[in-house]
Chain A
Amino acid sequence: MTSALDESDKEKTRSVSVDLNNDASLLIDIPDALCERDKVKFTVHTKTTLSAFQKPEFSVPRQHEDFIWLHDTLVETEDYAGLIIPPAPPKPDFESPREKMHKLGEGEATMTKEEYNKMKQELEAEYLAVFKKTVQVHEIFLQRLSSHAILSKDRNFQIFLEYDQDLSVRRKNAKEMFGGFFKNMVKTADEVIISGIKEVDDFFEQEKTFLLDYYSKIKDSTAKAEKMTRSHKNVADDYIHISATLNTLSADDSTALKKHLDKLSDLFEKLRKVEGRVASDQELKLTELLRYYMRDIQAAKDLLYRRARALADYEHSNKALDKARLKSKDVPQAEEHQQQCLQKFDKLSESGKRELTSFKGRRVVAFRKNLIEMAELEIKHAKNNVTLLQGCIDLLKSN
């Protein structure tokens, strides 16, 4: 199925990271995507005034794996060791709606045709929501890159945007070249490395403590928010069944209740739509926000790991220099090596400080925007509910 996402939709969904895609010199978006069974094909559309590109406007089809390739090559690039690499978008996951669709099929016999259709509608909406989310998260990844002074100039990034052939060949080559060495190193480096390093810089000491703690807390909050959203969806589903049965009761009824039941059935149908919106808005504004920043904090932690390793390297090089001086052997090499390590470490520290500071700012702005929007939406939905309910109450009382 194809989905063309209109601008207002995207505006709504994009807000996990604010102030992206504002620089006219490089504008990127994913205007549509195609879903074939398990594979999603994104259309990446670029508009640019930069001379680095061959054309001012162009589109290419990309798969999820291409995004991962791009992310990994950026992580592997030494020059970017001092940057927070935007987190890779997660794989599109249609498991949940697919499973529910399957269950619905099995239970079809137990419900009326109308009920079944409504449930199916709900599931299709859920499917669409997953779809929209995955497009959003892939789009944001690219926009983070395009908004970054250094990363936007990355050659591989440009290839990703521009290369009009299949990228899978390049993907394979990249794997062979790097073998995921750097990535594995980062992955297996656990907190022992960071916490084991004697930190001389207060800023980094604080950041380390903060990020480690915050990560575990935000991970927990993400999981709990997800459960909460799921419960809302369950309530909305119950409203569907209630509405359908009330409808049947109304049809069968020959007393004065007939019209009351009819109104009630109608009410529950409307209520469940609102409840569904509450669930999906909460998901987008809260759960997705938390989830995104959980991944972003992981990326920030990765930066700290790399810096910690650079510090370790520097300390080793110091020891090697001392040894060399003692033996009076290979001293110039050792000195040079030590200098390089120091430079690398200093560069990482300087860049890291910048990155972490702007990260905090970015996070605060995004939280603010989303929390405000969530509160506003909750109020809007609740007011809507009150109107619906009060209307029905008045009708019932007046008869």
Chain B
Amino acid sequence: REASVPQFGREQSGPASLPAEDVSTNSNGPKQDSLFDDDPEDLFAEATEEVSLDSPERDVLLSDGPSPAITPITPPTSVITPRIESLTVPVSLQIEEEEGGDSFDIHIAVSDPEKVGEFSGTFWHLRDKQDSSGTSLSVFKQGEFSVKRRFSDFLGLHSKLASKYLHVGYIVPPAPEKSIVGMTKVKVGKEDQSSNEFVEKRRSALERYLMRTVKHPVLLKDPDVLQFLESSELPRAVSTQALSSAGLLRMVNKAADAVNKMTIKMNESDAWFEEKQQQFENLDIQLRKLHASVESLVCHRKELSVNTALFAKSAAMLGNSEDHTALSRALSQLAEVEEKIDQLHQDQANADFYLFSELLGDYVRLITAVKGVFDHRMKTWQKWQDSQMLLQKKREAEAKLQFTNKPDKLQQAKDEIKELEGKVQQGERDFEQISKTIRKEVSRFEKERVKDFKSVIIKYLESLVQTQQQLIKYWEAFLPEAKAIS
């Protein structure tokens, strides 16, 4: 199965609409969303035409609040936006599952937002390679599915997976970042290049996020993931708003974690962990640096495109002004060549971004997840140590109580000690388990990283080749024109 290189040209087809972001400027929290989605008379459920700011449907929506529990809010004019053209094509990837020899063919594509409030979702196809008769050995239903998911759904999925798996050592792929600025621009109906680019950037990021998640053998089997991929309806994710109280709470927790990390001094008995942590630190620094350089490249390439276009126009004017006929024609041809080249540079800038830059961005975020997992191990160790220390104290206290005449206190102490002993054992088991998991995870992560980088870099280099080959074509076509000047 070959991965197809997405085309980043200006071919656009068909209308599509926007995901409505949960992030809004008012503070009514999750309930506001149901104004549009959980409404049983959801006007958008089957709608295929766009709703414009002045459409009657919108007025209906606004005036009939679906339930009294919801305070009707006039949404900012930002909510409904039509006419985002659909852009690129699905990317297919092959996945191999090592345990149990199951191999999957999972093909996931996130295609363009079609309706207000949703990204029309993943369509995927699972075929079990081992058994060609079609009997599935895996947990998935077979066949093709298409579901619609909102951006907040993706965030919700990540949130659930993170809370379930991070603290036991699994590297959970991070979800794409919110961009309040980008989303607001899109919502406000700015139908320009930058909002189109924003939509494509997000779509591509969601696709990569999902692919990474399903490539993980453990996560793939998680019921939340299955539900995400399969169910036509998904319960509203509630705590994903950037400015919500839950969001703030998470931010605070993160900060607290950071402080804790600084104060945990762990007796590292395993050199492997120390080594790996250092490696990931270095990798983090270098990847960020590389990412910054590539972002600069994207920027300069775009500038080159713009400047080439400006030059092309100027050359055309010069050609018009030129009174020597053959030279005039050659200058006009030069202008045409440069115009084609400016498009070439624009396309290359997109490849620079979507292939190279985004790969690096993804890995910078992934490394953060990896570092998080190491931190959890330290916390687990700390918990174990704390239990041990507490046990020690209790034992000392119990010893003292032996000499007093307080039988029930003594009994209580003995009970507590028993409980703590259990906790200590559990703590040790947890620590060993997380250490084991991390080792496996890191090994898998490294393997994935190698494959990922290699395949994306090859694609990127191929994009560069394409650009250069086009350049050759254009200039070779121009050369006889230049020679024809007499």
A interface list, Cβ under 8 A from B: 206, 210, 213-214, 217-218, 220-221, 224-225, 227-228, 230-232, 234-235, 238-239, 241-242, 245-246, 248-249, 252, 254-257, 260, 264, 267, 360, 363-364, 367-368, 371-372, 375-376, 378-379, 382-383, 385-386, 389-390, 392-393, 396-397
Query: Across the two chains, which residue of chain B brings its CB closest to A360?
Result: B324
The residues in B between 309 and 325 inclusive whose CB is less than 8 angstroms from any CB of A are 310-311, 314-315, 317-318, 320-324
A249 CA / B450 CA spacing, docked (Å): 13
A232 CA / B345 CA spacing, docked (Å): 11
Given A241-B296, A245-B293, A363-B327, 12 other A-B contacts at CB below 8 A? A224-B311, A227-B310, A227-B311, A228-B310, A231-B307, A238-B294, A242-B294, A249-B286, A257-B449, A360-B324, A386-B468, A389-B461
In the bound complex, do residue B475 and residue A264 qualify as a contact, i.e. CB atoms below 8 Å apart? no
In the bound complex, do residue B457 and residue A396 qualify as a contact, i.e. CB atoms below 8 Å apart? yes
Residues of chain B within 8 A (CB-CB) of A213 are 321
| Least distance between B347 CB and chain A CB atoms (Å) | 15
Is B334 part of the binding interface, using a Cβ–Cβ cutoff of 8 Å? yes
Is B478 part of the binding interface, using a Cβ–Cβ cutoff of 8 Å? yes
In the bound complex, do residue B471 and residue A217 qualify as a contact, i.e. CB atoms below 8 Å apart? no
| Least distance between A258 CB and chain B CB atoms (Å) | 10
A389 CA / B464 CA spacing, docked (Å): 8
**Known interface pairs A227-B307, A231-B307. Does A252 touch B279 (Cβ–Cβ under 8 Å)?**
yes
Is B472 part of the binding interface, using a Cβ–Cβ cutoff of 8 Å? yes
**Known interface pairs A213-B321, A379-B472. Does A260 touch B457 (Cβ–Cβ under 8 Å)?**
yes
Query: Across the two chains, which residue of chain B brings its CB closest to A399?
Result: B454
Query: Across the two chains, which residue of chain A brings its CB closest to B446?
Result: A255
B interface list, Cβ under 8 A from A: 279, 282-283, 286-287, 289-290, 293-294, 296-297, 300-301, 303-304, 307-308, 310-311, 314-315, 317-318, 320-324, 326-327, 330-331, 334, 446, 449-450, 453-454, 457-458, 461-462, 464-465, 468-469, 471-472, 475-476, 478-479, 482-483, 485-486
Residues of chain B within 8 A (CB-CB) of A378 are 471, 475
In the bound complex, do residue A231 and residue B485 qualify as a contact, i.e. CB atoms below 8 Å apart? no
Query: Across the two chains, which residue of chain A brings its CB closest to B290?
Result: A245
Query: Across the two chains, which residue of chain B brings its CB closest to A287?
Result: B311
In the bound complex, do residue B304 and residue A371 qualify as a contact, i.e. CB atoms below 8 Å apart? no
A310 CA / B284 CA spacing, docked (Å): 75
In the bound complex, do residue B307 and residue A228 qualify as a contact, i.e. CB atoms below 8 Å apart? yes
Q: Out of A364, A390, A392, A397, which one reaches B324, CB within 8 Å? A: A364
In the bound complex, do residue A371 and residue B330 qualify as a contact, i.e. CB atoms below 8 Å apart? yes
In the bound complex, do residue A371 and residue B461 qualify as a contact, i.e. CB atoms below 8 Å apart? no
In the bound complex, do residue A242 and residue B293 qualify as a contact, i.e. CB atoms below 8 Å apart? yes
A227 CA / B469 CA spacing, docked (Å): 24
Residues of chain A within 8 A (CB-CB) of B317 are 217, 220-221
A258 CA / B163 CA spacing, docked (Å): 34
22 A-B Cβ contacts within 8 A?
A206-B323, A220-B314, A224-B307, A228-B311, A230-B307, A235-B301, A255-B446, A255-B449, A257-B449, A260-B450, A264-B457, A364-B485, A371-B482, A372-B479, A378-B475, A379-B471, A382-B469, A382-B472, A385-B464, A389-B461, A389-B465, A389-B468
In the bound complex, do residue B327 and residue A368 qualify as a contact, i.e. CB atoms below 8 Å apart? yes
Residues of chain B within 8 A (CB-CB) of A264 are 457
Which 10 A/B pairs are nearest by Cβ-Cβ distance? A231-B304, A238-B297, A371-B482, A224-B311, A368-B485, A234-B300, A241-B293, A382-B471, A245-B290, A221-B314
In the bound complex, do residue A376 and residue B318 qualify as a contact, i.e. CB atoms below 8 Å apart? no
In the bound complex, do residue B475 and residue A375 qualify as a contact, i.e. CB atoms below 8 Å apart? yes
Number of A-B contacts (CB under 8 A): 157
Residues of chain A within 8 A (CB-CB) of B321 are 210, 213-214, 217
Residues of chain A within 8 A (CB-CB) of B479 are 372, 375-376, 379
A393 CA / B460 CA spacing, docked (Å): 10
**Known interface pairs A218-B318, A378-B471. Does A210 touch B323 (Cβ–Cβ under 8 Å)?**
yes
Residues of chain A within 8 A (CB-CB) of B485 are 364, 367-368, 371
| Least distance between B301 CB and chain A CB atoms (Å) | 6
A81 CA / B179 CA spacing, docked (Å): 67
A11 CA / B315 CA spacing, docked (Å): 26
Query: Across the two chains, which residue of chain B brings its CB closest to A371?
Result: B482
In the bound complex, do residue B465 and residue A390 qualify as a contact, i.e. CB atoms below 8 Å apart? yes
Query: Across the two chains, which residue of chain A brings its CB closest to B323?
Result: A210
A392 CA / B464 CA spacing, docked (Å): 12
Query: Across the two chains, which residue of chain B brings its CB closest to A252?
Result: B282
In the bound complex, do residue A393 and residue B314 qualify as a contact, i.e. CB atoms below 8 Å apart? no
**Known interface pairs A220-B314, A257-B450, A386-B465. Does A252 touch B307 (Cβ–Cβ under 8 Å)?**
no
Residues of chain B within 8 A (CB-CB) of A393 are 458, 461-462, 465
In the bound complex, do residue B471 and residue A225 qualify as a contact, i.e. CB atoms below 8 Å apart? no
In the bound complex, do residue B472 and residue A383 qualify as a contact, i.e. CB atoms below 8 Å apart? yes
Residues of chain A within 8 A (CB-CB) of B290 are 242, 245-246, 249
Residues of chain B within 8 A (CB-CB) of A379 are 471-472, 475-476, 479
**Known interface pairs A221-B315, A224-B307. Does A372 touch B465 (Cβ–Cβ under 8 Å)?**
no
A227 CA / B320 CA spacing, docked (Å): 22
A257 CA / B455 CA spacing, docked (Å): 11
Residues of chain A within 8 A (CB-CB) of B450 are 255-257, 260
| Least distance between B3 CB and chain A CB atoms (Å) | 14
In the bound complex, do residue A238 and residue B464 qualify as a contact, i.e. CB atoms below 8 Å apart? no
| Least distance between A20 CB and chain B CB atoms (Å) | 19
Q: Out of A224, A375, A382, which one reaches B478, CB within 8 Å? A: A375
**Known interface pairs A378-B475, A393-B458. Does A235 touch B311 (Cβ–Cβ under 8 Å)?**
no
| Least distance between A219 CB and chain B CB atoms (Å) | 10
A239 CA / B287 CA spacing, docked (Å): 15
Residues of chain B within 8 A (CB-CB) of A241 are 293, 296
Residues of chain A within 8 A (CB-CB) of B457 are 260, 264, 396
A249 CA / B321 CA spacing, docked (Å): 53
**Residue with the greatest number of chain B CB neighbours at <10 A, chosen from A238, A242, A267, A383:** A238
A378 CA / B470 CA spacing, docked (Å): 11
Residues of chain A within 8 A (CB-CB) of B486 are 368
| Least distance between B341 CB and chain A CB atoms (Å) | 9
A392 CA / B454 CA spacing, docked (Å): 12
In the bound complex, do residue A367 and residue B330 qualify as a contact, i.e. CB atoms below 8 Å apart? yes
Residues of chain B within 8 A (CB-CB) of A235 are 297, 300-301, 304
| Least distance between A154 CB and chain B CB atoms (Å) | 30
| Least distance between B380 CB and chain A CB atoms (Å) | 26
A225 CA / B318 CA spacing, docked (Å): 12
A389 CA / B468 CA spacing, docked (Å): 10
A214 CA / B319 CA spacing, docked (Å): 9
A256 CA / B482 CA spacing, docked (Å): 49
| Least distance between B331 CB and chain A CB atoms (Å) | 8
A206 CA / B323 CA spacing, docked (Å): 10
Query: Across the two chains, which residue of chain B brings its CB closest to A236?
Result: B300
| Least distance between A106 CB and chain B CB atoms (Å) | 17
Residues of chain A within 8 A (CB-CB) of B464 are 385, 389
In the bound complex, do residue B293 and residue A228 qualify as a contact, i.e. CB atoms below 8 Å apart? no
In the bound complex, do residue A382 and residue B475 qualify as a contact, i.e. CB atoms below 8 Å apart? yes
Residues of chain B within 8 A (CB-CB) of A360 are 323-324
**Residue with the greatest number of chain B CB neighbours at <10 A, chosen from A248, A372, A383, A397:** A372
A239 CA / B318 CA spacing, docked (Å): 33
Residues of chain A within 8 A (CB-CB) of B304 are 228, 231-232, 234-235
Q: Out of A217, A224, A252, which one reaches B310, CB within 8 Å? A: A224
A11 CA / B297 CA spacing, docked (Å): 34
A360 CA / B314 CA spacing, docked (Å): 20
A360 CA / B323 CA spacing, docked (Å): 9
A256 CA / B468 CA spacing, docked (Å): 29
**Known interface pairs A228-B307, A228-B308. Does A368 touch B465 (Cβ–Cβ under 8 Å)?**
no
